[in-house]
Structure 1
Amino acid sequence: MKKQKIVTGVLLSSLLALSACGNDNNNANDAADGNNNETANEGNNTNGNNGNNEEASQEEVTLEFWTMQLQPTFTEYIDGLIDVYEEENSHVTINWVDVPASDLEQKLLSDISANNAPDVVNLNPSFGSNLAELDALTILDDEISQEEKDVYLQGAWEANQLGGNTFAFPWYLGTEIAYTNTEVFEEAGLDPDSPPSNYEEAAEYAETVMEETGKYGFFPSFEGTLPMQYLVKMGADLTNEERTEAAFNSAEGIEAVEYFTSLYQDGLIPPESLGEQREITNLYTSGQLAFGENIFMTEVSENAPDVYEVSEPSEALTGKSGKKNMNVQNLVIPEQSENKEESIKFAQFVTNSENQLEFTKLTAILPSTEATLDDPYFTDLPEDPEAADYERIISAQQLPNAELLVPPMNNFSELQIAIHDAFAKAMLGEATPEEALAEAEAEEEWNELLVE
């Protein structure tokens, strides 16, 4: 394996594939690869913690802190964070509760209904926005200074806003990575060191690969929020700036639907594109796919090491807008918390630059703070770099220009289904792209749903 080549590893593959498909209940355990056994006990700074003399007279506080499926992989790290925070804030006790990803939303809704909400909770922007709609979360804009907000990447901070109000601190992030099967590229007469960088090139490569090899050159999925992301990447706006009116039924939106409809009906993308997203991984593992995003590379490495060895990562595809997607995990403060000030301080501590750097060295995630992203760990390759080092640099390079392409919106699930159905109807020939988008806008009454 040539050192200068970028070969695949497991960086972000599970985290990003789950997020991109619209299932934002990211399981950080899937992304973990055990790269580093460092703990977070060194160099941690709290944001706005009071001195020891002041603490002596402060009332004892217990905070309930929920995370999403971080045990047992990150038990040592989280325990280390808590130990440091409690040592520096002796009046505070942190009760850490780790909740399975599949149970977290229902458990939180139940506790909120029982007026027994925790103090700090790890959520994704979509579910966070649902709670913010119900006024169930603390709005942070008036609680912290602009200087404290500026610690975070702008795209990550804005990902947690609904109606101009910020309902969460961004914690860890991800961006999409594309993967190329270099053997299939060479079989098709393509340069494996020059994978497609935009959707126009992806279509051209797909045609060449099919003609020369009978294999698929491109596999876009339409599960979850991905159809919405395609619209934005290809230049369409989902809504107006205030997120009160639909805007996707435009020339750019129609062009995006026409693009995928043409590929599908010409047989240049698999029929499984309209199925589950994990079919991308299955086809790539079989060696029948030349290029794709949202691939679970951990599964590829386990089930098809020969394919894994000839794979190379590259930046995600972009369209006319040049935008790339950012996946976000955050920390929210439920409105019911009786210790909001202390909860905000703890959330800032967990997400400060030093602690995030330690976390990113333990697993394949990206930080939400400017200072962490500027660290040499994300800018410079080490001596004798491994696959994960190359992938980390690629991901970090595109992160400052990435954003949450499908922002929190009212009635999110209904809107998502409407867009998916529009793509499916056009691709299956049940409606023209123009008719499909017009129907989605009218039948689902987007404008009413957005402001409901």
Structure 2
Amino acid sequence: MSSRKTWTRLVVCALFGLLLSWVVSCSTTPSISGSQEIEFWTMQLQPQFTDYFKNLISSFEAENSGLIVRWVDVPWSAMESKILTAVAGKTAPDVVNLNPDFASQLASRNAWLELDSKISPQVRQQYLPNIWKASTLNDKSFGIPWYLTTRVTIYNADLFKKAAISNPPRTYEELAQVAKIVKEKTGKYAFFVTLVPGDSGEVLESLVQMGVQLVDAQGKAAFNTPAGIAAFKYWVDLYKNGLLPKEVLTQGHRQAIQLYQSGETALLAAGSEFFGTIAKNAPAIAQVSAISPQITGVTGKKTVAVMNLVIPRDTAKSDNALKFALFVTNNKNQLAFAKAANVLPSTVESLQDSYFKSADANASSADKARIVSASQMQQAEVLVPAMRDLNKLQKAIYENLQSAMLGNKTVEQAVADAATQWNSR
């Protein structure tokens, strides 16, 4: 496409987005003299949490006379394209719910309001330090942490009993031992982990947990080291020894859930919120399922997924947008949303609530999973740092790891080739 056609298309898209925004605003929000509207986008939280957000917004508006909030919920699959179009057309909402991974791509283009001079150290200290760090790029803060999810180990106690395994694995070293015993004693696999580029980042995160540095300060590959080779070899050996299903090369994380629900694998690394899905789809499996902390490596690090709030740099309402974002993420509102959505809050005080500290003897597995998840937050961090072209880093590592698994390359060559592929992107 010529540059002239590209420019014309961008102008048309921007004008269409502006017109659509005006039409929607006029048709759904009454004009209030002297008021200022804050447009707030979330990702796929309707209709399940409609009542929560209506009450939240009403409370904010009651405390801030003259401010009104227009809430727009965007499907998960559409958010990236919609926000990219809106930012390019300078029609972005005032507060946006994203994740640090995607938000960092636009942060590198200076799309978001820098927060370090806007938020006092006292307010910043209310949030978990490792979680705040996830929404920084080049030591500049671009987002406010909101809700969190973290993996736990859900395991089939019946299968463990048949394999004569007393305790679930806590480390990757123990996981390899369990995988061998489960296969020998039951004929089933211990677990499923995907190596499909663009799907779960679990294997990429495992490298960090095993002590591998992915990139250096200049963004160059830093994993072509003895630690990186050892981590590659760990996964290659599991595959070559028949301790991973062949489908790990072609199927995504959905397959991991399906295999666990059908009783074909002994454990599943997933968020505690998956317990509801298992109970609904496979009640017999849910009944024999138990909870253990997330498996980690020599570093002891635990991974966490973060949702944050960002404010576009071009908004004319930055002060009020920031006021609303801090209201959404304050201790009281984070605790309320965490309880409503079965997620974890990102503020220190909220996590001290008894809801995350203890459960009675007759508590459900889902309640126990919540306690285990919350207990991991002090060690939890986003293991793969925000960076440009993260999808390309995952692709380089996964593709070369697959080649080593299939015997097309040595482990050393696979690591070297992955590093070269990343550095020459």
Deviations 1:13-68 (A, max 9, x none): xxxxxxxxxxxxxxxxxxxxxxxxxxxxxxxxxxxxxxxxxxxxx96321100011
Give the deviation of 1:303 after TM superposition: 2.8
Alignment of 1:265-414 (within 5 A): 265-274=240-249, 275-294=251-270, 296-382=274-360, 384-414=362-392
SS at match of 1:64: strand
TM, length-normalised to structure 1: 0.83
What root-mean-square deviation, in Å, do the aligned CA atoms of Structure 1 and Structure 2 show?
1.6
SS at match of 2:62: helix
Determine which of 164, 176, 199 is the counterpart of 2:139: 164
Give the deviation of 1:244 after TM superposition: 2.7
Determine which of 80, 84, 88 is the counterpart of 1:113: 88
Give the deviation of 1:284 after TM superposition: 1.0
Aligned CA distance change for structure 1 residues 302 and 433 (closer, same or farther; 3 Å): same
Which residue number in structure 1 is paired with residue 420 of structure 2?
442
Give me the whole-angstrom Cα distance separating, in 2, the residues matched to 1:108 and 1:206.
Answer: 43
Which residue number in structure 2 is paired with residue 208 of structure 1?
181
For 1:69, give the aligned amino acid.
Q
Which residue number in structure 2 is paired with residue 65 of structure 1?
40
For 1:435, give the aligned amino acid.
Q
Conservation of the 8 A alpha-carbon contact between 1:224 and 1:416: no
Give the deviation of 1:226 after TM superposition: 2.2
Which residue number in structure 2 is paired with residue 153 of structure 1?
128
Give me the whole-angstrom Cα distance separating, in 2, the residues matched to 1:250 and 1:417.
Answer: 19
SS at match of 1:419: helix
SS at match of 1:294: strand
User: What percent identity do the matched residue pairs reach?
Assistant: 42
Give the deviation of 1:380 after TM superposition: 2.2
SS at match of 1:179: strand
Which residue number in structure 1 is paired with residue 30 of structure 2?
none
Deviations 1:85-132 (A, max 9, x none): 101101211111111111111111111122111000000111100110
For 2:212, give the aligned amino acid.
A
Comparing 148-157 and 278-287, the one that deviates more:
278-287
Which residue number in structure 2 is paired with residue 218 of structure 1?
191
SS at match of 1:372: helix
SS at match of 2:303: strand
Higher RCO (Cα < 8 Å, 6 or more apart): 1
Give me the whole-angstrom Cα distance separating, in 2, the residues matched to 1:88 and 1:323.
Answer: 40
Give me the whole-angstrom Cα distance separating, in 2, the residues matched to 1:80 and 1:219.
Answer: 41
Conservation of the 8 A alpha-carbon contact between 2:356 and 2:374: yes
Determine which of 141, 157, 168 is the counterpart of 1:195: 168
SS at match of 1:206: helix
Which residue number in structure 1 is paired with residue 76 of structure 2?
101
Give the deviation of 1:138 after TM superposition: 0.8
Give me the whole-angstrom Cα distance separating, in 2, the residues matched to 1:388 and 1:313.
Answer: 9
Which residue number in structure 2 is paired with residue 15 of structure 1?
none
* Runs of 5+ unmatched residues, structure 1: 1-57
For 1:72, give the aligned amino acid.
P
Which residue number in structure 2 is paired with residue 232 of structure 1?
208
Conservation of the 8 A alpha-carbon contact between 2:155 and 2:266: yes
Conservation of the 8 A alpha-carbon contact between 1:229 and 1:325: yes
Conservation of the 8 A alpha-carbon contact between 1:382 and 1:389: no
Give me the whole-angstrom Cα distance separating, in 1, the residues matched to 2:120 and 2:191.
Answer: 46
Give me the whole-angstrom Cα distance separating, in 2, the residues matched to 1:201 and 1:414.
Answer: 30
For 2:90, give the aligned amino acid.
N
Determine which of 80, 87, 91 is the counterpart of 2:66: 91
Deviations 1:117-156 (A, max 9, x none): 1000000111100110111111111111111111100111
Which residue number in structure 2 is paired with residue 82 of structure 1?
57
Structure with the higher fraction of residues in helix conformation: 2
SS at match of 1:173: strand
SS at match of 2:313: coil
Which residue number in structure 1 is paired with residue 27 of structure 2?
none
TM, length-normalised to structure 2: 0.88
Determine which of 174, 179, 200 is the counterpart of 2:154: 179
Give me the whole-angstrom Cα distance separating, in 1, the residues matched to 2:326 and 2:400.
Answer: 41
For 2:126, give the aligned amino acid.
V
* Runs of 5+ unmatched residues, structure 2: 1-32
Give me the whole-angstrom Cα distance separating, in 1, the residues matched to 2:63 and 2:371.
Answer: 34
For 2:210, give the aligned amino acid.
M
SS at match of 1:317: coil
Conservation of the 8 A alpha-carbon contact between 1:227 and 1:423: no
Which residue number in structure 1 is paired with residue 25 of structure 2?
none
Give me the whole-angstrom Cα distance separating, in 2, the residues matched to 1:383 and 1:227.
Answer: 35
Conservation of the 8 A alpha-carbon contact between 2:221 and 2:422: no
Conservation of the 8 A alpha-carbon contact between 2:291 and 2:365: no
| Number of residue equivalences | 387
For 1:85, give the aligned amino acid.
F
Give the deviation of 1:224 after TM superposition: 3.6
1:253 and 2:192 matched: no
